[in-house]
Chain A
Amino acid sequence: MTVTVLLFASYADAIGANSLALELPPGATVGDVVTHVQALPGAARLPQNPLVAVNERYARRDRAIVAGDEVAIIPPVAGG
């Protein structure tokens, strides 16, 4: 299945893209998405355990992903 992964701010700069289309096996989790992203060139600058959102809500590592989900890797937020 294809999963859209959004990148922002310093993470987008590190990997050189604002979004990715990842091919993942059925049953893949948030943790699997993080593992895939961390294998990309430039991803060494990401922390071991980044925040992740699925469909605009913060999600745990064991959350299962389904086709069409929008996964976002969230850098430390700095609003205000």
Chain B
Amino acid sequence: MRSSPATKSRSFHQLPVVDVRTAIVDGPIDVAALMREVAEHRNGATIAFVGTVREVNDGRRVTGMEYASYRAMAERELETIAREAVTEFDTSDIVVEHRIGVLELGEASVAIVVAHPHRGAAYDASRYMIEQLKQRVPIWKLEHYADGTREWVDPTRDGRWEMGDGSESLSAQAEDAK
């Protein structure tokens, strides 16, 4: 990508092999190690977004979180999102890991690391990937509450994400991708 002429088409299949790495992992995420993976002298900015388990959600005290996934599809969708970012933001120095299983408060559930010659594109790529991840990657959270109960987090419950809209746009993406 970097060595391509600026006028080259941006469609995915014309890209050379890029070194993005995305993974669904079962153990702790080592953010420093991810940052080393994207370290290149051509880059002037590295953005590490780290999502962590928060102690209060929707006013209820949380003691832990269990992440479940449709693993094969989650891996595929994560990689697709990272490759979209390669095309859109012109860097392939991208590593994304999402952890599943039982996590304690404060532990990292997701890390998105992007390096780029300039900070603007690095911030934009990072933001793009986390927002797309939250809409498209089939991962679910079972919150464990202080009162002993557990509940699946439903982002549609408080209107943050309208089911109908999401369904239509994701289905449209599915068709467009054919």
Contacts and interface: CB of A to CB of B under 8 A. Distances in A.
Contacts, number: 98
Query: Which of A13, A59, A80 is packed against the most chain B CB atoms within 10 Å?
Result: A80
Query: Which of A47, A59, A77 is packed against the most chain B CB atoms within 10 Å?
Result: A77
Interface string B53-95: 0000000000000011110111010000000000000000000
Contacts of A59: 171, 174
B167 A10 contact: no
Interface in B12-37: none
Contact of B154 (A49, A53, A76, A79): A76
Contacts of A80: 51, 98, 109-110, 130, 133-134, 139
A77 to B, nearest CB: 5
Interface residues of B, number: 39
B35 to A, nearest CB: 19
A58 to B, nearest CB: 4
A20 interface: no
Contact of A53 (B70, B130, B161): B70
B108 to A, nearest CB: 11
Interface string A1-35: 00000101110010000000000000000000000
B140 interface: yes
B68 to A, nearest CB: 6
A27 B139 CA distance: 30
B167 A79 contact: no
Contacts of B67: 79
Contacts of B136: 58, 77
